């Protein structure tokens, strides 16, 4: 047998042994299998103008209209009902819930119904919409069978109809930003607010009304017509992430215009101001599941309420990780 043939048989044999060992190892009970994931795909936003004129299309368009101009229909001067504070869903879900990193609706269809720790139950899309009605819009629930609820749910689900389940795509929700190693500064935040935010939200944070005062062109950031203390955006990390990637507001996304520190500080200033104090006794039934920046006790740790609101958060978050294991 020639040396070349001998070398070939040795290499082939070794390869088969290695392959067999790998297959055996991966098949062992309890072995955690990892998969190499490609970068999440970007969301291809569906175009509502391509939907044919049907009764379903009319409902979708009405749902989109309700997201954009909530106050026109459901605000203090609403033509359907007077059950919200004058803000619009679009104030938090930019571009009718389609802007990446702007709290978009893309993942809703693929993830709801879903269990959420805040309520301690599996929530429907209708439940989640009413959460926003009562918290961010500081208002009342919609009838789950009403035309308005059916329209909003239809539109939200339609937006995510082509998003694969189980895959988190880029730009979903509100991005996390790095924690500060200090508490967020209300004083620094006020300076940033005066310099960068008052042209839209006014010096008193009261926002800017449209021509007939039926709705806000730019929303109030505090005061009686703003979101209440039970809204998700009252958590500092949520507001800071939203500000970082979306403010000052631009009609077309332009990327972050503030540093991480500036976003945290201006968020602290905004959330330090007076706003409706509407609480829900059923929130966070499992105390250990409260987020590190949820500012109301009781807590599963010994950190004070003020630190849970403004930070520094690293130690709280580290404690939360320990208690969850």
| In contact, 139 and 74? CB cutoff 8 Å | yes
Whether 299 is covered by a domain: the verdict is yes
CA dist list (Å): 280 to 113, 178, 277: 21, 29, 10
Whether 291 is covered by a domain: the verdict is yes
- Total domains in the chain come to 2
Task: Determine which of 9-18, 38-47, 275-284 has the lowest per-residue pLDDT on average.
Answer: 9-18
According to the model, what pLDDT value does residue 211 have?
84
Domain extent, residue 69, equals: 48-159
pLDDT confidence bin for 32, thresholds 50/70/90 = very low
**For a pLDDT cut of 70, what percent of the chain falls above it?**
86
Whether 175 is covered by a domain: the verdict is no
According to the model, what pLDDT value does residue 324 have?
55
Beta strand ranges found along 147-255 (DSSP E): 208-209, 216-218
Same domain, 217 and 317: yes
Whether 264 is covered by a domain: the verdict is yes
Over the stretch 14-30, which tens digit does the pLDDT of each residue have? 554 544 444 443 444 44
Whole-model pTM: value is 0.85
Over the stretch 41-51, which tens digit does the pLDDT of each residue have? 789 999 998 89
According to the model, what pLDDT value does residue 28 have?
42
Same domain, 314 and 229: yes
Same domain, 192 and 319: yes
Same domain, 221 and 132: no
**CATH at 83:** 1.10.760.10
According to the model, what pLDDT value does residue 150 have?
98
Whether 63 is covered by a domain: the verdict is yes
According to the model, what pLDDT value does residue 298 have?
97
Task: Determine which of 117-126, 208-217, 300-309 has the lowest per-residue pLDDT on average.
Answer: 208-217
Same domain, 139 and 228: no
């Amino acid at each position: 047998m020639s040396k070349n043939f001998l070398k070939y048989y040795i290499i082939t044999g070794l390869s088969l042994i290695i392959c067999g060992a790998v297959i055996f190892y991966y098949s062992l009970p309890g072995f955690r299998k990892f998969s190499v994931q490609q970068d999440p795909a970007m969301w291809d936003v569906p175009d509502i103008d391509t939907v044919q004129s049907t009764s379903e299309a009319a409902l979708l368009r009405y749902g989109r209209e309700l997201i954009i101009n909530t106050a026109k229909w459901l605000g203090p001067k609403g033509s359907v009902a007077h059950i919200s504070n004058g803000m619009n869903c679009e104030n938090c879900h930019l571009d009718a819930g389609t802007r990446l990193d702007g709290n978009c609706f893309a993942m809703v269809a693929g993830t709801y119904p879903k269990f959420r720790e805040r309520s301690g139950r599996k929530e429907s899309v209708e439940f989640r919409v009413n959460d926003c009605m009562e918290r961010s819009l500081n208002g009342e629930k919609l009838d789950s069978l009403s035309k308005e609820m059916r329209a909003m749910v239809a539109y939200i689900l339609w937006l995510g109809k082509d998003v694969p389940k189980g895959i988190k795509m880029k730009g979903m929700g509100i991005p996390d930003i790095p924690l500060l190693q200090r508490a967020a500064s209300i004083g620094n935040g006020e300076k940033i607010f005066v310099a960068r935010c008052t042209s839209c939200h006014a010096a008193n944070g009261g926002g800017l009304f449209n021509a007939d005062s039926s709705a806000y062109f730019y929303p109030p950031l505090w005061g009686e017509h703003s979101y209440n203390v039970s809204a998700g955006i009252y958590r500092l990390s949520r507001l800071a992430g939203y500000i970082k990637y979306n403010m000052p507001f631009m009609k077309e996304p332009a990327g972050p215009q503030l540093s991480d520190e500036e976003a945290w500080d201006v968020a602290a200033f905004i959330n330090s101001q007076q706003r409706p104090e509407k609480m829900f006794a059923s929130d966070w039934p499992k105390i250990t599941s409260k987020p590190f920046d949820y500012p109301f006790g009781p807590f599963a740790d010994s950190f004070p309420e003020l630190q849970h609101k403004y930070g520094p958060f690293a130690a709280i978050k580290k404690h939360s990780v320990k208690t969850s294991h």
